[in-house]
Structures are given as structure tokens and as C-alpha cells.
Amino acid sequence: NYDPTATIDDGSCIYCNQNAVDPFNYTGAMQTYTVPAGVTSVTIDAYGAQGGANWFYNDNFGGRVECDIPVTPGEVLNIFVGEQPTSIVGGWNGGGNGESVGKGGGGSTDIRRGITVNDRIVVAGAGGGAGYWASQHVIGGVGGGLVAGAGSRDVIYPGGDPGTQIGSGNGTCVSLNNPICSGGLGYGGSPSGCGCEGY
């Protein structure tokens, strides 16, 4: 399942008939979760969005993060669930724009103690966008891992560099690995106006 989602399991109803699991799906806006009384740890399962897909075989999936985090009863966690784009515009929550007929990159899914990207405590990275350029399929890299996957252009040519835990790789364009097309903290690379598609 590569749909962008975030699930929080607080275990508070383990001995009752209620569901302790709270799912969050993409809405295009921040969502909130209030930690119940007596709960000091929650389990997070989050998926970043797949990048925009221009054909059935695109494998530019988002990453998955599953972890336990300590919490304080009554505190509010802010949930940002990314979007898989269907056009050149990047997905909500940080997806970079595509180029020409290429699709934008996916939006990440994250949980924050606060509002800004500097307040994130869990991040599931998204996949890069896809397109078709010079008779080659151009596919963005997968999200997830300490180093994400690099993009690709069919078999021979490289695509954009993978992102890491501390920074963005270079984007790609006619002159491969173009720093002008790179992303940054909380946003993907955007090759709009660069002259080719799918990053």
C-alpha cells in the first residue's frame, strides 16, 4: 500500500471495545491528534506519497516510517499527510514541480510538534515525479531509507540524485545533476522552466 497515510496507535483501548488506532489520510490541510490521558507512548506508521505517475510501470513510491515516540498526555501532534500529484504541480507538503508534460513529485507525510518543517519529529519521504523526455521514460527516485533512491532515465542515463537525512541531492535537466533544480529542507526539486520533464 503506497497511499499517503499516517496512523497513530496509542494503545489506550487495548482492554475495551473501542478502536485505539487513528488513521489520517490526505486532505490538503494540517490535521491534529490529541494524546489521551494516561498515554505516554504512541506507535506511528506513516507513508510518503508516490510521485506523479505518467505510465503504469512507474515505481517512484514514497517511503514508510514505523516507530514509537514518547508523548505527554494532552499534547497535540500535528499531522501532515502528503499528496500524490496528477499534474505538473508538486504534491501538497513539499512535492517539487514537474516540467512540461511531466508530473510533479509527491508530498511527504510527517508529524510535528509545532507548525514549521523544523518542528517535524517523524518524516516519511515521498517519491520523485515522472515524465517522458527525448523518447525516454524519466522516473523519480523512491523515498525512504537513510538515502533515498536516485531517479532514472530508462536504462542508460541517470536522473536526479537521491535525498539524504541531511540534504537534497542535485536535480536533473539537460545537463544532468543540475544544482539549480535541487530541493531543500521540506521541499522537492522543481525543474519548471528547465527544459525537460520528470524528476
More confident residue, 131 or 159: 131
Mean pLDDT score across all residues of the chain: 83
Bridge partners, 124 (sequence order): 109
Please give the grid coordinates belonging to residue 136: 525516454
pLDDT at 140: 83
Q: What is the average per-residue pLDDT within 78-86? A: 95
In this prediction, residue 199 has a pLDDT band, given cuts at 50, 70 and 90, of very low
pLDDT at 194: 61
In this prediction, residue 1 has a pLDDT band, given cuts at 50, 70 and 90, of very low
Radius of gyration from C-alpha coordinates of the chain: 18
Q: How far apart are CA 3 and CA 104, in angstroms?
A: 16
pLDDT at 98: 82
Pairing of strands 76-80, 109-112: antiparallel
Q: How far apart are CA 186 and CA 76, in angstroms?
A: 21
In this prediction, residue 147 has a pLDDT band, given cuts at 50, 70 and 90, of confident
Q: How far apart are CA 38 and CA 45, in angstroms?
A: 21
**pLDDT over 70 (residue 2):** no
Which residue type does 88 have?
Answer: I
**pLDDT over 70 (residue 56):** yes
Q: How far apart are CA 163 and CA 102, in angstroms?
A: 20
**pLDDT over 80 (residue 170):** no
Please give the grid coordinates belonging to residue 149: 533512491
Cut 0.85: pTM above it: yes
